[in-house]
Amino acid sequence: MSDKKVRVRFAPSPTGGLHLGGVRTVLFNYLFAKQHEGDFILRIEDTDQNRYVEGAEDYILDCLKWCGLTPDESPVAGGPYAPYRQSERKAIYREYAEKLVRQGHAYYAFDTPEELDKNRKEIPNFQYGQVYRDGLRNSLSLTEHEVDELLDAHTPHVIRIKMPADERVSFTDMIRGNVSFETNQVDDKVLLKADGMPTYHLAVVVDDYLMKITHAFRGEEWLPSAPVHLLLWEYLGWKADMPEWAHLPLILKPDGHGKLSKRDGARLGFPVYAMNWFDAKTGELTPGFRELGFLPEAFLNLLATLGWNDGTDQELFSLDELIEKFSIDRVSKAGAKFDFEKAKWFNAEWIKKSEALSLKSEVKKILEDKGVVVSDEAYLLKVIDKIKDRVVLLPDFYQQAAYFFEQPKEYDANSVKPKWTDAKTQFFISLITLFGATEAWDEASLEAAFKAHAEEKAIKVGELMLPFRIMLVGGKFGPHVFDIAALLGKVETIRRIEKALEVFTAE
């Protein structure tokens, strides 16, 4: 690697939700930059005004903030190479497009959309390129005088790259090694549109050069564009400054057949966007990992392992560990299958690892949104510590925690009544008296007292544990039942036994 300061960029289009593949691209850029004490830049590629969606840029920034992947330079943070929105850099690009025309590497094309549509309909596999360009309305087929007249009349036109014939262009990809392309197979891409806006092809090259980008990580779907970009770097005289490229593997559907899409998520019941995305035009809400109940640490961890591993059996990585251990050499060329069950496993593991204090505000909101009153935050922290090992997604905290704050609204009486006896009724009536007189209210003392009392009454402990749990919780879930009783306290535990007895003994 050269001695230049590492500078990487994520350059999304503000056209909708942020796919998890996009966040993985951000993550790999970020890890590489931080590992090499470099800069991570966010650049908004909003040159396609027809596809621009209001609110999409703020959404992208919110996603990165939630993930904790803060850009060093961006439209919001600013930086030495501002502006960071391509629409605000519009004046820059025509100069370079015109330079390419003067050099003979690009040309003006005056064809109307209707003329091009006609060609596409009449000519199978029509491409605007070396086979057909001489018969179309452009500065290669028209006289210089005709071109000047059209330009003077402000006739709408685009500028296209002139792809050379019979050449091979190659580069070394950091993941894939040597990659080559035949120029005959690439059409003459538009570089500057009729509205003066650059296309992605011109803008990405110009901006990467002007912003001194040293490494460009992007999805492998951009590989077919590489020959155009390689030639632009060469034609503009910047080949020595071209960034090193890495084309990241696709994130595949769970069955491994094809790229994971929003439709796949809807069909299979899981999100593919980082956060909820609401499309104001269609009224469609696409769910996100955040709102489903994922921790950002878990989301980043699962993304890091989609196409990368550190060569060990380790699966759980903090962001700091990823910065330390990430290596582009260990990114796979092959696509990575997305496994939602594995994604949930990551989340459960990260919830287990998290301190109760870091989960407190989120859990409190989840409970209060469901009408559960949380007045004692110290008590809430104890509850979180007791149940977090049983939670997979954050909303699970409601089911797992609500009964610590309010009595069960209903009981799984069907699991109790068929085997209920008068002896069990008498056991729990006398247990109320026993617990009322118990001084040491802790898990071990309660368990010892309960078991001794069962032995005294000649009832198997196993027959009493489930009813006791359902009395306290309402169902067959939760941590160790004596841990629950210890946290609930003496008064509340006794109150719940009394109330449940009424239900269990009712005809």
Contact 42, 30 (CB under 8 A): no
Instruction: Tell whether the torsion through CA atoms of 332, 338, 339 and 340 is positive or negative.
Output: positive
> If you average pLDDT over residues 449-460, what whole number do you get?
97
What is the per-residue pLDDT for 33? Answer: 98
| 15-71 per-position pLDDT tens digit | 999 999 999 999 999 999 999 999 999 999 998 878 888 899 999 999 999 999 999
Say whether pLDDT at 182 is over 60: yes
3-state secondary structure of 120: helix
Going from the C-alpha of 385 to that of each of 32, 207, 355, 403, the distances in angstroms are 35, 49, 8, 15
Region for residue 269 given its phi and psi (left: phi exceeds 0; alpha: psi -120 to 50; beta: otherwise) = left
Contact 359, 274 (CB under 8 A): no
CA distance 15 to 60: 10
Say whether pLDDT at 1 is over 60: no
What is the per-residue pLDDT for 281? Answer: 83
The overall average pLDDT reported for the chain is 96
The active-site residue, picked from 262, 342, 360, 382, is 262
What is the per-residue pLDDT for 54? Answer: 87
Known active-site residue 325: no
| 113-129 per-position pLDDT tens digit | 999 999 999 999 999 99
Buried/exposed code over 88-98 (b: 16+ C-beta within 10 A; e: otherwise): ebbeebbebbe
Say whether pLDDT at 251 is over 60: yes
Strands 158-161 and 190-192: antiparallel
3-state secondary structure of 331: strand
CATH classification for the domain delimited by 354-396, as one of 3.30.70, 1.10.8, 1.10.1060, 3.30.1380: 1.10.8
What is the per-residue pLDDT for 506? Answer: 84
CATH of domain 407-505: 1.10.10.350
Residue 487: both structure tokens together = 């946290």
Domain boundaries, the chain: 88-248, 354-396, 407-505
> If you average pLDDT over residues 351-373, what whole number do you get?
97
| Residue 424 is assigned to a ligand binding site | no
What is the per-residue pLDDT for 51? Answer: 82
Using a pLDDT cut of 90, give the percent of the chain over it: 96
What is the per-residue pLDDT for 53? Answer: 86
CA distance 66 to 47: 26
Q: Which CATH superfamily is domain 88-248 in?
A: Glutamyl-tRNA Synthetase; Domain 3 (3.90.800.10)
Residue 177's beta-bridge partner residues? 173
Contact 140, 159 (CB under 8 A): no
Q: For residue 401, which phi and psi values (nearest 5 degrees)?
A: -115, -25
pLDDT bucket at 257, cuts 50 / 70 / 90: very high
| 378-427 per-position pLDDT tens digit | 999 999 999 999 999 999 999 999 999 999 999 999 999 999 999 999 99
Contact 481, 472 (CB under 8 A): yes
pTM for the whole thing?
0.93
Q: Which of 160-164, 265-269, 279-283 has the lowest mean pLDDT?
A: 279-283
pLDDT bucket at 150, cuts 50 / 70 / 90: very high
What is the per-residue pLDDT for 310? Answer: 94
Residue that wins the pLDDT comparison between 3 and 351: 351
Contact 175, 159 (CB under 8 A): no
CA distance 47 to 418: 70
Sheet holding 106-109, edge to edge: 106-109, 158-161, 190-192
What is the per-residue pLDDT for 507? Answer: 64
